[in-house]
């Protein structure tokens, strides 16, 4: 907890720093996460289908965008962590206008937080992290 508090105080939770807090200082993982979130933000539902997710993982593995990140690490380290922390949801049903059917997708989840931060302690740090995530996704 002390490490989180020091990190939050030092970095002031800038929008680009939320990924550093989640993934540490691993540059490849942060770059891959930025690519994933960018792709998801490009969709009006903030979502990717399983097929699109798999295609992105394969593209990152091949190094197509200048980022070389393994397929295995994409799913086990990056995506699993985002799912476990509640920043991305799996199997959300949305209506696909092109195919005229409902599809299960991975979708970015904006955190439901109050406008004002709580008084202090762990809950305040959790609020700061959730607020930073929301700002990063909305930017």
Instruction: Encode pLDDT of 43-63 as tens digits.
Output: 989 999 999 999 999 999 999
**DSSP state at residue 16:** G
> Per-residue pLDDT tens for 61-94?
999 888 899 999 999 999 999 999 999 999 999 9
- Residue 21 contacts residue 136 (beta carbons within 8 Å): no
Q: Which string of b and e fits 17-43 if b means at least 16 CB within 10 Å?
A: bbbebbbeeeeebbbbbebbbebbeee
* Domain interval for residue 27: 2-138
Distance CA 4, CA 2 (A): 5
Q: Tokens representing 28?
A: 């490849």
Distance CA 60, CA 25 (A): 19
Number of domains within the chain: 1
Q: Tell if the pTM clears 0.85, that is, is over it.
A: no
């Amino acid at each position: 907890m002390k490490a989180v508090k020091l990190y939050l105080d030092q970095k002031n939770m800038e929008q680009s720093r939320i990924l550093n807090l989640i993934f540490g200082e691993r540059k490849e993982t942060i770059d891959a996460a930025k690519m994933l979130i960018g792709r998801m933000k490009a969709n009006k539902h903030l979502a990717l289908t399983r097929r699109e997710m798999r295609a992105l993982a394969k593209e990152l593995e091949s190094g197509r965008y200048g980022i070389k990140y393994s397929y295995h690490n994409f799913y086990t380290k990056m995506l699993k962590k985002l799912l476990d922390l509640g920043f991305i949801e799996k199997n959300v049903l949305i209506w696909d206008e092109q195919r005229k059917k409902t599809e299960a997708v991975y979708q970015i989840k904006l955190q439901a937080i109050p406008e004002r931060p709580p008084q202090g302690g762990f809950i305040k740090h959790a609020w700061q992290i959730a607020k930073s995530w929301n700002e990063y996704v909305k930017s």
